[in-house]
Structure 1
Amino acid sequence: MFAKDILFWNVDTQIDFMSASGKLYAPGAEQIQPVLSQITSLAKSNNIQVVNTADFHYDSSKELSNNPDFITTFPPHCMANTSGAEYVNETNPETPFSEVLWDQIYSEKNIRDFIINRNIIIKKDAFDVFEGNTNTEAVLELIAPKKVFVYGVTTNVCVDCAVVGLAQRNIAVYVIEDAIKELPNIPLPFARWDQLGVTRITFSELGKHLN
């Protein structure tokens, strides 16, 4: 139904991270928005399925703190049902989309129904989407991609968790370097990605890897 064996993985391109007025702005994130728009358009024109992850926090979230260290804890951001938790226009999933909540456990039939749509939103309550939404594993297993192309924010937190998690599940992972942005004061993950065999490409190189 969709482009065979290929999956795009859009990490947390939400207003609180992407906008200078957001609650946890990644400095310079607006610079990648034109490329994000191109990726979204490419996915649509090539009928490529997209998993869109999203922080969706409540006050009890363990990563939130009023005295954050900005490494393992952060100020309240992407709070449930706030505008800061919405996607920027460049990546806003096209309807119809499926929404996989982190505080529910779904049956295999539910998951099969979810993956009928080209866009799937996986909401999460942890940096790592596999930890922050226990349904992620089932979604990934049923889609069964051979190649996953990752982009979004932030490079050294949630993008890193997604990249590592996907690579550890023996999937060929490609990171679109001109479509990611990091937070300050946290080490960059590139050495680990290299050890895991992750391929880093630019958007201009993406087309030749889609076959």
Structure 2
Amino acid sequence: MTRAILVVDVQNDFTEGGALGVQGGAAVAERISAYLAGHADDYDLVVASRDWHDADNDNGGHFAAEPDFVDTWPPHCVAGTPGAEYHPSFDTSTVDVHVRKGMGEPAYSVYEGHADDGRRITEVLAEHGITEVDVVGLATDYCVRQTALDAVEHGQHVRVFTDLVEGVHHERSAEVLAELAHAGAVIAQSPGTAPEVG
């Protein structure tokens, strides 16, 4: 078994009440914790990422006073602030590797991040021989999307669990899931979850 789960940006600023809060984000945090409570042993590696932006600059144009919410954003997930911390409903006790990304630059994908020891996460995954990756977290139409696309590009077999992600825009998120499926990812409910009816 050479499978990892990548938990993307389950942070206070990306959940309700945060700088870029996603409706349903807190519920996703709870569901991810419940899933990991029963399934963490299914993985060689549990990885969790956080945006970790600099406070004293625009992070390579990522922050803007008048953001367009496409390429520029209001300040969020600033290093060391409560907004950058994991959501309290996300139980991190099963996390093996913590990744920080966006330190002074725009970064959407977990694959752009660094582990606490400074290594690129691509090195960590390679060291563990990871060939299969499950992607969950926030937000479907931004960081989850880019992480899943990068995982496919790195030759990994990718699953995105629809019950463990939430997007900013409902219609765009549906388009993104279709895009990811077209790219080769498997779009499915998490194992052990009853399929939705109706």
Unaligned ranges ≥5, structure 2: 194-198
Partners in 1 of 2:192 and 2:179 — Cα distance? 22
1:45 offset after TM fit, Å?
Answer: 4.9
Matched, 1:168 2:153: yes
Give matches, 1:102-121, under 5 Å: 119-121=96-98
Structure 2 counterpart of 1:84: 83
Moved over 4 A (4+): 45-48
Partners in 2 of 1:186 and 1:78 — Cα distance? 25
Secondary structure (helix, strand or coil) at the match of 1:148 reads: strand
User: What TM-score comes out, normalization by structure 2 length?
Assistant: 0.82
Give matches, 1:51-130, under 5 Å: 51-59=47-55, 60=57, 61-62=59-60, 63-94=62-93, 119-125=96-102, 126-130=107-111
Secondary structure (helix, strand or coil) at the match of 1:176 reads: strand
Give matches, 1:1-211, under 5 Å: 4-18=1-15, 20-46=16-42, 48-59=44-55, 60=57, 61-62=59-60, 63-94=62-93, 119-125=96-102, 126-133=107-114, 135-184=120-169, 187-188=172-173, 189-205=176-192
1:185 offset after TM fit, Å?
Answer: 8.4
Contact conserved, 2:3 with 2:43, CA < 8 A, in 1?
no
Letter in 1 for 2:26: E
Structure 2 counterpart of 1:100: none
In the comparison of the two structures, how many residue pairs are matched?
181
What is the percentage of aligned positions where both structures have the same residue?
A: 26
**TM-align CA RMSD:** 2.4
Partners in 2 of 1:157 and 1:178 — Cα distance? 17
Structure 2 counterpart of 1:115: none
String of CA shifts for 1:3-60, please: whole Å, max 9, x gaps.
Answer: x311111000011112x21111012222323321212212445465211111000132
The 3 A distance-change label for structure 1 pair 147 and 132 is closer
Unaligned ranges ≥5, structure 1: 96-117, 207-211
